[in-house]
Amino acid sequence: MDIHPIGYLHSDFESRFGAPRQPGIVPEARAELHLHPPYNNPEALSGLEGCTHIWLIVGFHATPDRPWRPTVRPPRLGGNQRCGVFATRSPFRPNHLGLSLVRQIGLLAPPACGLALRGVDLIDGTPVYDIKPYLPDIEAPTDAQPPDLMRTTLPGLRVEWRASALAELATAPAELKALITATIAADPRPAYRRGQDAAHFGMRLAGYEVAWSVADETAWVESVSPAPGKDSKGR
């Protein structure tokens, strides 16, 4: 079967580091799905107006291309324990396909054709292969159980802001502080970096360079500055 993207995401997350490991973890995370020809026909989206959540079938385009393996090391298990790839959400999959449940905010204003989204866990430039409405009465069975490895809730981080970093937000979009705080609170650090105090991190988020450090399980936002070559929406 030969499949082609119907469109691409423009997301707040500009790299894999910082992107949430699952959808909905950072409700403030924004994205726009822009449909490309010949799929950019508004009639294809008719009927989605009252739908709050949709499934996106996507491609993990930023995942290194390497031979398929039957087992992976998921971050949820600390990155050291192997388990079957089909029991995980790992991007290292046979066909590099992913499934993401996101909140649909509304249709994009013409001349664009696509959807405004929230709660995304996908990085900028992600190809989208299909859209399907989420049906809670069918797809949320009350007796559902995840794999054992998915039942452990990963701890998050308490987030504090340096006064200098808050001052740098004066000319930034109003929603940027909430986005940065929620993204860091979800603890995007690799498993092997957790427990390391005085560690420093940086990420590009929504068109900004964000520097932060961790001490005693508290993250401190150190600085926020416009990223070169990007506007304030990460485009």
The full DSSP string for 103-122 is: EEEEEPPTT--EEEEES---
Range of 61-75, 79-93, 160-174 with top mean pLDDT: 160-174
Distance CA 188, CA 25 (A): 11
Task: State the pLDDT at residue 90.
Answer: 85
Q: How confident is the model at residue 77 (pLDDT cuts 50, 70, 90)?
A: low
Q: How confident is the model at residue 234 (pLDDT cuts 50, 70, 90)?
A: very low
Pick the range with the lowest mean pLDDT from 63-67, 166-170, 176-180, 184-188: 63-67
Amino acid letter, 52: T
Range of 88-97, 142-151, 190-199 with top mean pLDDT: 88-97
Distance CA 17, CA 7 (A): 23
pLDDT at 230 over 60: no
The pTM score is: 0.87
Q: Which residue has the higher pLDDT, 26 or 194?
A: 26
Amino acid letter, 108: L
Q: How confident is the model at residue 196 (pLDDT cuts 50, 70, 90)?
A: low
Task: State the pLDDT at residue 75.
Answer: 67
Q: Which residues, in sequence order, are CB contacts of 82 under 8 Å at separation 6+? A: 71, 72, 73
Residues 182-207, mean pLDDT to the nearest whole number: 82
